[in-house]
């Protein structure tokens, strides 16, 4: 079981503000880093899969960066909206392709 840490555990954001949070993972035997968004009572939704150091991915107002050498990824939300309220999970996979998940960052956007 690989140690994947996410911080902060939770955060509150005012509507319209931007925010970001971190996923830390082992820097050895890296294969891929996944981000999922999990809204209450819904299925976790895949946001990004990143495999290369320096990768940047973007989907609407959400973007992510990857640093495999130091073992971290940032997820950014620009101009937060109430529909961005969710738990954001990151998952690391090494050469065996199994996913090790962090505990998530729960984002609450206040109108």
Partner 1 sequence: EAGVAQSPRYKIIEKRQSVAFWCNPISGHATLYWYQQILGQGPKLLIQFQNNGVVDDSQLPKDRFSAERLKGVDSTLKIQPAKLEDSAVYLCASSFKVPTDTQYFGPGTRLTVL
- Residue numbers at the binding site for partner 1 (CB under 8 A): 1, 4, 31-32, 34, 36, 41-46, 49, 89, 91, 93, 97-104
Q: Which of 34/84 has CB closer to partner 1?
A: 34
The torsion angles phi and psi of 83, rounded to 5 degrees, stand at -70, -10
Report yes or no: 20 and 106 within 8 Å, Cβ to Cβ: no
Minimum CB separation of residue 32 from partner 1 in Å reads 7
4 closest CA partner among 24, 20, 34: 24
Q: Which of 37/77 has CB closer to partner 1?
A: 37
Minimum CB separation of residue 18 from partner 1 in Å reads 25
CB within 8 Å of 103: residues ≥ 6 apart = 6, 9
Residue ranges of E strands in 51-85: 56-59, 62-67, 72-77
Minimum CB separation of residue 97 from partner 1 in Å reads 4
Q: Which of 57/78 has CB closer to partner 1?
A: 57
Minimum CB separation of residue 77 from partner 1 in Å reads 20
């Amino acid at each position: 079981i690989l140690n994947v840490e996410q911080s902060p555990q939770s955060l509150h954001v005012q509507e319209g503000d931007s925010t970001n949070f971190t996923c830390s993972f082992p820097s050895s035997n890296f294969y891929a880093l996944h981000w999922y968004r999990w809204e209450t009572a819904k299925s976790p939704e895949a946001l990004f899969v990143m495999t290369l150091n320096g990768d940047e991915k973007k989907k609407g107002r959400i973007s992510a960066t990857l640093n495999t050498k130091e073992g971290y990824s940032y997820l950014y939300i620009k101009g937060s909206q109430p529909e961005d309220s969710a738990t954001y999970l990151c998952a690391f996979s090494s050469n065996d392709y199994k996913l090790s998940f962090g505990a998530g960052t729960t984002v609450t956007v206040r109108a």
